[in-house]
Amino acid sequence: MEKKRVVITGLGMITPLGIGVEKSWNAVLAGVSGIGRITRYNDPNLPVQIAGEVKDFVPEDYIHPKEVKKMDRFIHFAMAASEMALNDSGLKITEENAERVGVLIGSGIGGLPAIEHYHKAYLEGGHRKVSPFFIPMLIINLAAGNVSLRYGAKGPNSAVATACASGNHAIGDAYKIIQRGEADAMIAGGTESVISPLAVAGFTIMKALSRRNDAPEKASRPFDIDRDGFVMGEGAGIVILESLESAQERGARIYAELCGYGMSSDAYHITTPSIDGDGAFRCMRAALKDAQIQPEQINYINAHGTSTKFNDELETMAIKKLFKDHAYKLAISSTKSMTGHLLGAAGGVEAVFSVLSICNNIIAPTINLDNPDPLCDLDYTPHKARKADIEYALSNSFGFGGTNACIVFKRTIF
């Protein structure tokens, strides 16, 4: 059977740069940092005091007040970003198409803040202090579950938990579901919200986080020699994927085509990327193969670019290994320099940025790249956004566990 072509018809996002696609995208193009001092809790003993918090988010704007308390914040974000994406796409879920519309939303960690809260309640007051909504508010698939419930989407419903690759895996898996003809449209992406003392403590003790507390907006500096770890962000990025036929039939606006998805595993270490960037290399290669294109055809890479020593060096190495001379010609950027690292939401958010880069022929910058690491010698679009002709864009996500997912978008004019 012939594979269905899959296009993007709707975008939705919430990031530390703003609520909504327009605000986040404009901030990214302006090179604004969304990182600041943590305001959600106060623990002066934690060595890390900075994060990319989403500000001024009111869940009741998107969710019935009665339902708000049944979901942890990562689900609130998924609900809001899904609403934005669906409205943007104009896709209506009706009795006729309900079974052909699915939801696949990833999250790296899920409701850890809810776990912290109710664990304390349990220790203090026993089981009768634990909410009957505790389990549904924290489990990862309830992001997709609640979105399907809200809109009556009765097609495939699933979730991905592959750490920082969750968003990309979710979008890639959803793409394959449509390609195989099992659904006509999928609400797909990633969501995350774990800016909580326990999560920050956990990442801190791994030495994964930047400790640049005195200059938060300078802390996320991918590919820079002075980078000292990633900065945790929160938010959600959701796209509406649709078969080309479905999109054309209803006269939908088409942003771009999703034409390639690759996966790989490092099989090397639980948290350190494989030493020569081999997992990332094989993942990008698989995505290009799936897209049936040559490395020279990629114009832009939205890098994983976390601002950790290992990732940025090894991702660069992997790009050079795959793209050879072309590695020095294509444009790369890490939007994490502005959003921070949204973990399981990163792939979702960066898919939206990649699609908008293609549509607007503009590449978002990597900010704070003041002194490039000599081992990071490619064109990372430092400081300022710039115009570029983009036909193909690649978005990379690599997760703890050595799990990798890359997706390829194509400019499409119909």
Partner 1 sequence: MAEIEGKVKEIISKQLGIDVGQIKLESSFIEDLGADSLDNVELVMAFEEAFGIQIPDEAAEKITKVQDAVDYIKGKLG
Point out the residues that are catalytic.
Answer: 164, 304, 341
138/241 with CB nearer partner 1 = 138
Query: Which of the stretches 60-68, 185-193, 301-309, 398-406 binds partner 1 when contact is defined by CB under 8 A?
Result: 60-68
CA distance 55 to 39: 10
Whether 146 contacts 325, CB under 8 Å: no
Q: Given the complex with partner 1, which of 131 and 272 has the nearer CB atom?
A: 131
Give me the torsion for CA of 133, 138, 144, 148, rounded to 10°.
10
Cα angle value 163/164/167 (rounded, 5°): 100
Each residue of 98-107: b (16+ CB within 10 Å) or e? eebbbbbbbb
CB of 198 to partner 1, least distance (A): 24
CA-to-CA distance for 388 and 368, rounded, in angstroms? 21
Q: Which amino acid is at 396?
A: N
Total interface residues for partner 1 by CB under 8 A: 11
If the CB atoms of residues 65 and 374 are measured against partner 1, the closer one turns out to be 65
Task: CB nearer to partner 1: give 55 or 64.
Answer: 64
> Is residue 65 a contact point for partner 1 (CB under 8 A)?
yes
Smaller CB separation from partner 1, 62 or 255: 62
Name the minimum Å distance from CB 81 to partner 1: 22
The mark string for 37-56 relative to partner 1 (x by CB under 8 A, - otherwise) is --------------------
Burial 224-250 (b: 16+ CB within 10 A, else e): beebbbbbbbbbbbbbbbbbbebbeee
**The one segment of 64-72, 194-202, 358-366, 385-393 that binds partner 1 by CB under 8 A:** 64-72
The residue within the footprint of partner 1, chosen from 1, 45, 66, 251 (CB under 8 A), is 66
| Residues 6 or more apart whose Cβ sits within 8 Å of residue 90 | 9, 10, 250, 252, 253
Taking residues 68 to 107 in sequence order and writing x for each that binds partner 1 by CB under 8 A, - otherwise, the string is: --x-------------------------------------
Nearest distance, CB of residue 135 and partner 1, angstroms: 10
129 or 384: CB nearest partner 1: 129
Print the binding letters for residues 164-203 with partner 1: x by CB under 8 A, - otherwise.
Answer: ----------------------------------------
Residue 65 Cβ vs partner 1, minimum distance, rounded to whole Å: 4
Among left, alpha and beta (phi > 0; psi -120 to 50; other), residue 309 is alpha
Report, in Å, the least distance between residue 122 CB and partner 1: 13
The verdict on 119 binding partner 1 (CB under 8 A) reads no
Measured from the CB of residue 111, what is the shortest distance to partner 1 in angstroms?
Answer: 16
Provide the token pair at 273: 């990327």
Please give the residues from 4 up to 43 whose contact with partner 1 meets the rule CB under 8 A.
none
Q: Please identify which residue in 3, 37, 64, 120 interacts with partner 1, judged by CB under 8 A.
A: 64
Quote the least distance from Cβ 130 to partner 1, whole Å: 9
Nearer to partner 1, 69 or 384 (CB): 69
Least Å distance, CB 98 to partner 1, is: 22
Distance CA 238, CA 75 (A): 12
Binders in 123-152 for partner 1, by CB under 8 A: 128-129, 131-133, 136
Window 235-264: residues binding partner 1 (CB under 8 A): none
Q: How far apart are CA 87 and CA 274, in angstroms?
A: 41
Kindly state the helix (H) or strand (E) to which residue 178 belongs, with its residue range: helix 166-179
CB closer to partner 1, 66 vs 387: 66
| C-alpha–C-alpha distance, residues 166 and 108, integer Å | 6
In what helix (H) or strand (E) does residue 19 lie, and over which residues does it extend?
A: strand 18-19
Sheet strands (E) in 218-344: 235-243, 256-265, 300-302, 331-333
Phi-psi region of 341 (alpha: psi -120 to 50; beta: other; left: phi over 0): beta
CA distances (Å), 190 to each of 112, 209, 232, 281, in order? 16, 21, 15, 23
Q: Which stretch binds partner 1 (CB under 8 A): 19-27, 58-66, 83-91, 224-232?
A: 58-66
Point out which residues bind partner 1 (CB under 8 A).
64-67, 70, 128-129, 131-133, 136
